[in-house]
Amino acid sequence: MKKIALLITLIGLGFTSCEDDNGNTIIPETQNTEKQLIKIIQKQYNSSGLDRIINHYYENGLKHTDSFFNSNNEFTAYSKHTYNSNNLIISLKSYNNNNIITNQNDITYDNQNRIITKTTQNENGEIVNNVSYTHNNNNTITSIESYTSGGMSNTISKVFYINNEGRIHKETNDSFQQQLIELTFNNNNNNIVSKTYDNTTVTYTYPENTFQNTLTYPGLGDYKSNLVLFYNSLDNGDQAYNDKHTLSRTYNYPNTSSTKRYEYTLDNENYIIKSLDYNSSNLQPEEILRNDIEYFYE
């Protein structure tokens, strides 16, 4: 085995996987004929120690179940994924440990396999969030999100801007005084160099070589911007545009900064079998382990 680690000190924050408010996680992985992912064990930590464990199970390259356990390894919840004939995720249902549904996300696509709606229902079957997308002819995507919070109905409108390479590189939010998120890519347009938003600049570093695992998102198809649309956020979905795994993210705020650093352990065929990520900041220099992830193949 061999280990890849960032050994110099950098300031940053990030996460190799994406997670929504209900703990549903999309972890980037490989679709490869030589080795196929069958399981991921993810241990999440907070400042006090182990917080929870999530087991992700895959079949034919697609995630089908997530099982959640607390810090005492007691089963607490699970989620199920459903796909259409194009292997695109169309339903994600979350259940408690009594098999009672607590949350359901339903997704629809157009004839180009681009997400056009995402609807979220609560445990009572009530729609609490609905996002609709219009794929315009001027290299933009319009997003209208309607949601209920505290008994109040709200609407947020966004515009996503697509560059000449077909990648979303900018997001504006008309509902919050034109909040802007913007990505800068390298010369090959295959990895993010920096991200800016809210007076914050994020910079990225990558390993010199690409691992055998290529960054893909099973269940979201070949249209990479579907990850952005799944979260309705360029901030959460930006990983869709990276060909390489991240070594660090550097978050520079107006008065402080913080670091997310990643370590990878590879097998003899250059597949990732373990990854660790740590947080630190200029106010708390000592690194804190946040995720310990093991990968299993067949």
**pLDDT per residue over 208-259, tens digit each?**
877 876 555 779 998 989 999 999 999 888 877 887 889 999 999 999 999 9
Q: Is residue 118 part of a domain?
A: no
Residue 142 lies in a domain: no
- 88-92, 211-215, 216-220, 280-284: segment of lowest average pLDDT: 211-215
- The answer to the question of residue 181 being in a domain is no
In this structure, is residue 178 part of a structural domain?
no
| Mean pLDDT rounded to a whole number for the chain | 86
Distance CA 234, CA 251 (A): 16
DSSP letter for 277, please. Answer: E
Q: Which two tokens stand for residue 215?
A: 């960054």
- C-alpha pair distances (Å), 97 with each of 57, 69, 74, 78: 17, 10, 10, 7
Is residue 148 in some structural domain?
no
Q: Within a domain: residue 66? A: yes
* Count of domains observed in the chain: 1
Residues written for the chain: 298
**157, part of any domain:** no
Identify whether 93 is part of a domain: yes
Its pTM stands at 0.84
Could you tell me the residue range of the domain that residue 38 belongs to? 2-103+186-297
Task: Give the whole-number percent of the chain exceeding pLDDT 90.
Answer: 67
Environment class of 90 (CB within 10 Å of its CB; exposed 0-12, middle 13-18, buried 19+)? middle
286 by DSSP, 3-state: which? coil
